[in-house]
Amino acid sequence: MNKTIRRAGVFTLILVLALLARATWLQVYQAQALADNADNPRLEINEYAQPLGNIIVGGQAVTGSKGSDDDSLKYRRTYSDGPLYAPVTGYTSQVYGATQLEGIYQSVLDGSDPSLQTPLDTLERRSAPGGDVITSIDPEVQKAGYEALGDKEGAAVAIDPSTGRILGMVSTPSYDPSQITGTNDAAAWKALTTDKSQPMLNRALRQPLPPGSTFKLVVASAALMDGLYPNVDTPTDSPNPYTLPDTQTVLTNEESDLPCKNATIRVALQYSCNTVFAHIAYQLGQNKVRAMAEKFGFDQQPDTPVRADASVVPSNMNAPETALAGIGQYDDTATPLQMAMVSAAIENGGKLVTPHMVSKVTDAGGNVLQDPDGQTKTTQVIPAWVASQLQSVMVTVVQHGTGANAKIPGVTVGGKTGTAQHGENNSAVPYAWFTSWANDPATHKQIAVAVVVEQSNTVRAEVSGSLLAGPVAKAMEQAWLQ
């Protein structure tokens, strides 16, 4: 009997010791991991226990915090001009997480980032006051682009070519992030996520589409650098119409009477001659076209710091596919960010500065924690002489060609229009593109803009980059320069 009791006692003691060991392990060695676990509700409670830091545009906060009706969450996020800045800020939600700048800088904004905390904060495991994210977005440029796009489905990106600062990032239709920041917003969330127009999609960064004739700038760069043609005013050996190599498919231009036969690069860009650039791309070959595109940023995912989708020039193309890729068709895709980068590099003497939309990250007292403005990278994409020739051609496009709607009095403007086929056999409404740069000779301020319009109320026959996208670029350029 005593032996049985002793065994039971020993077994019980072992269980108690195991329980103590487990408790010690959890409280001492696993405490931080458990505290940081995404499923720990205390994280959410702590995050909203104090006002969040803010995202700043033009010196003013476009975010805020207000008292929450939820008993466990003291504050909820608010947004000023939410639809205007949603492509920049993203959202932070008590239920659905955080995106864009709200997601990337969440720990800074809620005060939990180690760089914000004092030793006492760390010891007591409490958050410091939230820091701020200061963007490079110019409020007037942003507003001009948003209003110019209006009820169209599309996007626009504006960059300062000399600094890489993103001055505007617009995506329409948009949404108000304030609708989904609480704990009882399921209906609003469902409405947004089931909307066929995809208002929560950042079309400026995350919607690569066929770039159409705007891609001809890349092909022209490759042709000049390769020495295929010594300058933009040398006649090309280009038939009109052009039969795609190894096929019986005949490629024509928008109008049959355009001066595209053996046209110079200048004239071919001025009138957007498909036949010329398809032939040039075939002469160069896919490897040289792809290599040039990659120098401009294609086949990469730029971080702004929000990561953009890669723009793509396909590999393993045959001869006719290479020709079609030369006019921004086949399987070419590009984001507005990417095409703005092309124009920015051309305007900046062939130098591409890393595009970014955050200038500084600070603590609550204004002390700088991160300095993206001081960490940009500059790459010589094309030689200065090539950039100079393309600048001249792009001015011709605006002054005497398809980009006339982008003219600004007293300002030097260069651009390239594009109309990209959409759907099988071009059955859907085409995409309208415009990529551009502008500088003011008096102030030397400069800007590069790319715009795409996916859908509008315009009848199909009148869809063009000049008509739909050009005025958006013009509005953003005027806002910055004037």
State pLDDT tens for residues 370-428.
999 999 999 999 999 999 999 999 999 999 999 999 999 999 999 999 988 755 555 56
213 is catalytic: yes
pTM: 0.88
Helix, strand or coil, per DSSP, at residue 388: helix
User: Is a pLDDT exceeding 80 seen at residue 436?
Assistant: yes
AA identity, residue 21: A
Polymer length in residues for the chain: 482
Reported as a single tens digit per residue, the pLDDT across 85-98 is 999 999 999 899 99
For 403, other C-beta atoms within 10 Å of its C-beta total: 30
In terms of phi and psi (left: phi > 0; alpha: psi -120 to 50; beta: otherwise), the region of 441 is: alpha
Block residue for tokens 């993203």: 90
E strands, 197-322, where?
A: 242-243, 250-251
- 466 band by pLDDT with thresholds 50, 70 and 90: confident
Q: Which two tokens stand for residue 4?
A: 């049985």
- 255 band by pLDDT with thresholds 50, 70 and 90: confident
Look at residue 65 in the predicted model and tell me its pLDDT: 94
Q: Which two tokens stand for residue 91?
A: 């959202």
The pLDDT > 90 percentage for the chain reads 77
Annotated catalytic residue, options 213, 272, 464, 466:
213
Look at residue 42 in the predicted model and tell me its pLDDT: 47
Q: Name the nearest CA neighbour of 130 among 215, 13, 46.
A: 46
The full set of domain ranges for the chain reads 207-358+375-481
Look at residue 40 in the predicted model and tell me its pLDDT: 42
- 35 band by pLDDT with thresholds 50, 70 and 90: very low
**Who contacts 321 (Cβ-Cβ below 8 Å, separation ≥6)?**
286, 314, 330, 331
CA angle (203 as vertex; 200, 208 as ends), nearest 5: 135
Query: Please, what CATH class does the domain formed by 207-358+375-481 belong to?
Result: alpha beta
Strand partners, 97: 93
Look at residue 183 in the predicted model and tell me its pLDDT: 83
Helix, strand or coil, per DSSP, at residue 27: helix
Helices (H), 124-210: 139-149, 186-194, 203-206
- 124 band by pLDDT with thresholds 50, 70 and 90: low
CA 461 to CA 100: how far, in whole Å? 37
Strand partners, 60: 57
For 384, other C-beta atoms within 10 Å of its C-beta total: 12
CA 210 to CA 332: how far, in whole Å? 5
CA 359 to CA 284: how far, in whole Å? 40
Question: For the ranges 64-73, 170-179, 225-234, 272-281, which has the lowest average pLDDT?
Answer: 64-73
426 neighbors 441 (Cβ within 8 angstroms): no
Angle between helices 336-347 and 286-296 (to 10 degrees): 90
Q: Which two tokens stand for residue 464?
A: 């063009």
Is omega for the bond preceding 241 within 30 degrees of 0, making it cis? yes
Look at residue 25 in the predicted model and tell me its pLDDT: 65
Q: What is the mean pLDDT of residues 14-26?
A: 69
Helix, strand or coil, per DSSP, at residue 335: coil
Q: Name the nearest CA neighbour of 142 among 109, 170, 172, 101.
A: 170
Burial 116-149 (b: 16+ CB within 10 A, else e): bbeeebeeeeebbebbbbbbbbbbebbbbbbebb
- Selected residue with higher pLDDT from 4 and 451: 451
User: Is a pLDDT exceeding 80 seen at residue 30?
Assistant: no
CA 413 to CA 392: how far, in whole Å? 10
281 neighbors 271 (Cβ within 8 angstroms): no
Strand partners, 412: 439
400 neighbors 462 (Cβ within 8 angstroms): no
CA 328 to CA 261: how far, in whole Å? 20
